[in-house]
Amino acid sequence: MGENIIDTAAAAYVSRGNKATRTGFGEALLEIGRENSAVVGLCADLTGSLNMNQFRDAFPDRFFQTGIAEANMISMAAGLATTGKIPFAASFAVFATGRVYDQIRQSLCYSNLNVKVCASHAGLTLGEDGATHQILEDIGLMRGLPRMTVVVPCDYSETKRAARAIVQHIGPLYFRFGRPNIPDFTRDEDGFEIGKSIELHPGSDVTVIACGIMVWKALEAARILEKEGVGVRVINMHTIKPVDTLAIVRAANDTGAIVTAEEHQIYNGLGDAVAGVCARNIPVPIEMVGVEDQFGESGKPDDLLEKYKLTTADILEKIYLALRRK
């Protein structure tokens, strides 16, 4: 899922190998569980898939296997939160958002309870499980809820840093990560602050704002265009809500054109969030890389990303179009 080196005059992001973001979640949950006795884990019969086995084994009295009953899991998490616990309630993204939307809306957001909804296996890269499991609307569902925070890390290391940040956050939060092994390239010095994006590559001609697996692909595109003399600013927008308005406005002002990239529907996801900021502050040409009002299908992850136009080449195509529109 991408080449292994990004080399620029300002910084060098090098893949340390491929790791899954779900692995980062499982390891981080164990670490923060050791540090904070208020942290509890809940899972809807997918403990192995979400790498929660180590937490379960280390803290059997703080882990709750709810079975295939996601609505009950969210309601249990809400109850635990009222006692001062910090619940991490985890399942596949399609179940953690779509199946339990009513419980999240009423029990978590309306009541403003401190529950972390942790969702793995999101997007097309779930692969062979097909359209019924490849949710591409979850960011939109969650960002539309009052009081909900939405976090989408881009690699294994950032997932671990994000987990440490969200345990300190008070309030309902949606934490989205994935199944496949992808390049692990971010650095500890990048840090992680909810609501504050990270500029990974400088540029003054156009900006690519990406989240999740598309961040690495945006860096690949920036490297290619750097050889052509085109400066591409790359922003890792790991928090979709609250979105980093200041970074978006600054990028629009400095570069005059923006491309967004996400493994999600272009409607009501990162692209719409960025477009909304620009419409209210500084209108500029915006192009979006994402799934365009379609369901997924069964297939190998890389084949699906190519079919649905979520590749480095597709980001390049949108960059050229945005530049022509300036």
The single residue listed with the structure tokens 């899954």 is 20
Active site residue 70: yes
Helices (H) and strands (E) in the chain, counts: 12, 16
Distance CA 80, CA 40 (A): 9
Residue type, 285: P
Distance CA 84, CA 234 (A): 39
The single residue listed with the structure tokens 């991490």 is 88
Cis ω on the peptide bond leading into residue 242 (within 30° of 0)? yes
Distance CA 110, CA 57 (A): 33
- Calculate the alpha carbon distances from 219 to 4, 19, 180, 201, 210 in Å: 11, 18, 19, 7, 10
Q: Is 199 helix (H, G, I), strand (E, B) or coil?
A: strand
Q: Tell which phi-psi region holds residue 317, choosing left (phi > 0), alpha (psi between -120 and 50) or beta.
A: alpha
Distance CA 109, CA 147 (A): 6
198-201/232-236 β-pairing: antiparallel
Q: Which of the following is catalytic: 3, 35, 70, 193?
A: 70
Distance CA 198, CA 185 (A): 13
Q: Which residues are catalytic?
A: 70
